[in-house]
Structure 1
Amino acid sequence: MSEDVYAVPDLTKKVGYGRRKREQEMEERGEREERIVDIYATADNLDPVTQQDAVQENTAQVQCGGSDQSKKNRSRAAAVCLMLLCLLLAVIIGLVIKYSELNTEKNNLVKDLVQMQSKYSNLTEQKNQSSFDLLLLQSRFNNLTEQKEQLQSRFDLLQSNYNNATTERDQRRKMLCEPHGFTFDGGVCYYVSPPEPETERKSWEDSRQYCTKRQSDLIVINSRAKQDLVERVAGKNRNMWLGLTDREREGAWTWLDETKTPLTTPTYWAPGQPDNNTSQDDCVVFWNGGKKGWYDKKCDERNRWICERVLC
């Protein structure tokens, strides 16, 4: 009987190491010993059947108490396991979400990498094309530089030839200009009538005849250089016949050169000129006085003149 009692110990209880745990274990152990003592104390006074029933009843009570405690412990263990499972499930769900986010970020990075590789390839192709274009331009530049140097050399040669030809032409013109008292200056071959005596002064028509007898004509002013020449050689306060007239048609002033060039700008008329003061002022003189410039005069007036010889 005593072996059956000792054969059912409560092994589901947790072992505690605190003072309160030890006191609870000692109290439970004392109660168990008291039950066992009671069983042994009353065993001699009962008959065998009665003793057997009493032992079975006490054993059942001890087993029931241990069974309730075991159920409580299992319930607690199940709750703890459920909590651990829930926590584990939450961790797994979090890891799955994090993995999904990381996988999405990875895919985005892969797309960006592909795009960057594509851009890099395009830039590399553009760079290679630019390098090729640069080499082509450099080659063309070198060719143009060489052509420029050749053209410059040819231009220098032509310029030198032109200068030599101009010098030779001026020398030849000077030789052709010098007879009959003509002067070659600034590319113009001219003759200025002497200032004295006054009897040497002539009308516009006579002045022209004097010039034509010497292979020339009254001077034509078609540039500023010629105007400056006339101002320089005319002398102060003197009239000089010019090769300008409107005898063919009043108001239509025309030069005496071969092309019959009409009067165009620039003109050097004196202020208020031409005025046709006598209604027969059809010829032009240059007056180098206070209001210097061109004046229309009667063609039969007697003045000095300037001849110009056109040289080839």
Structure 2
Amino acid sequence: MATSSMLGVLLLLFFTQLGSSLFTKETNVAAGSRIEMEANGRNYSVFRAAVGIAEADQECLNQGKHLVDFNEEGEYLAIQAALFEAGLERSWYWTAARKDAKKQVWYWETTGETITDYFWLPGEPSNDTSNDYCMRFDVSVGGWLDDPCDTNFLVGYICE
């Protein structure tokens, strides 16, 4: 896992050094705003709003999208690089990951695919509380953490 994290940091630096913008349209990045971007040939909407996962899910559905699911390592790294480029590296975002409480398995709610562990931070998923069934993406440290789904202190969410 440490090797994957190191590889992620190196790839992030590589993408950042390319100097090519991954953004197609940028709006104010203040709280309550949104950025439209493209990475890995897909369009994403990045929202800066401290909301719980249910509200984030609903907003994505209202746009005909869903919360981001990192089915490919390259997608994850491209989005992380784009967020760094936009100056949003000190942010946390909701993802489409959920934990099946009965099976104790993490999966992408959008596809049902089991989540591999390539970007969980050390000690994660921690299940610090008995209801850590949702995943947040911490851009600054380049990894995933589990949180209660009703948490609303996050900086935002990403729809694809």
**TM bucket, shorter chain:** 0.5 to 0.7
Maintained 8 Å contact 1:247/1:283:
no
Aligned with residue 237 of structure 1, among 84, 87, 90:
90
User: Gaps spanning 5+ residues in structure 1: where?
Assistant: 1-173, 175-179, 195-199
Give the 3-state SS of the residue equivalent to 2:97 in structure 1.
strand
Q: CA deviation at 1:184?
A: 3.2
Maintained 8 Å contact 2:39/2:79:
no
Distance 1:292 1:184, change over 3 A: closer
What residue number does 1:263 align with?
Answer: 115
For 1:229, the aligned partner's letter is: A
Maintained 8 Å contact 2:69/2:108:
yes
Runs of at least 4 residues off by over 6 Å: none
What residue number does 1:210 align with?
Answer: 59
Q: CA deviation at 1:220?
A: 0.8
Q: CA deviation at 1:248?
A: 5.0
What residue number does 1:274 align with?
Answer: 125
Question: Identity across aligned pairs (percent)?
Answer: 25
Residues 1:192 and 2:46 are matched in the alignment: yes
Structure 1 length-normalised TM: 0.36
User: Matches of 2:103 and 2:127 in 1, distance apart?
Assistant: 9
Maintained 8 Å contact 1:250/1:282:
no
The total of aligned residue pairs comes to 122
Q: CA deviation at 1:264?
A: 2.8
Aligned with residue 254 of structure 1, among 97, 104, 107:
107
User: Matches of 1:215 and 1:271 in 2, distance apart?
Assistant: 34
Residues 1:300 and 2:157 are matched in the alignment: no
User: Matches of 1:248 and 1:273 in 2, distance apart?
Assistant: 16
Distance 1:261 1:307, change over 3 A: same
Q: CA RMSD in A?
A: 2.2
Q: How does 1:1-312 map to 2 (within 5 A)?
A: 182-194=36-48, 200-232=49-81, 233=83, 235-247=88-100, 249=102, 251-257=104-110, 259-264=111-116, 267-289=118-140, 291-302=141-152, 303=154, 304-308=156-160
User: Matches of 1:280 and 1:185 in 2, distance apart?
Assistant: 32
Maintained 8 Å contact 1:247/1:282:
yes
Structure having the larger proportion of residues in strand? 2
Deviations 1:76-120 (A, max 9, x none): xxxxxxxxxxxxxxxxxxxxxxxxxxxxxxxxxxxxxxxxxxxxx
What residue number does 1:130 align with?
Answer: none
User: Gaps spanning 5+ residues in structure 2: where?
Assistant: 1-23, 25-33
Structure 2 length-normalised TM: 0.68
Give the 3-state SS of the residue equivalent to 1:217 in structure 2.
coil
Give the 3-state SS of the residue equivalent to 1:225 in structure 2.
helix
Q: CA deviation at 1:244?
A: 0.2
Larger Rg: 1
Higher RCO, 1 vs 2 (CA within 8 Å, ≥6 residues apart):
2
Deviations 1:18-74 (A, max 9, x none): xxxxxxxxxxxxxxxxxxxxxxxxxxxxxxxxxxxxxxxxxxxxxxxxxxxxxxxxx
Structure having the larger proportion of residues in helix? 1
Deviations 1:217-258 (A, max 9, x none): 00010112211123122622211111101155352111022x
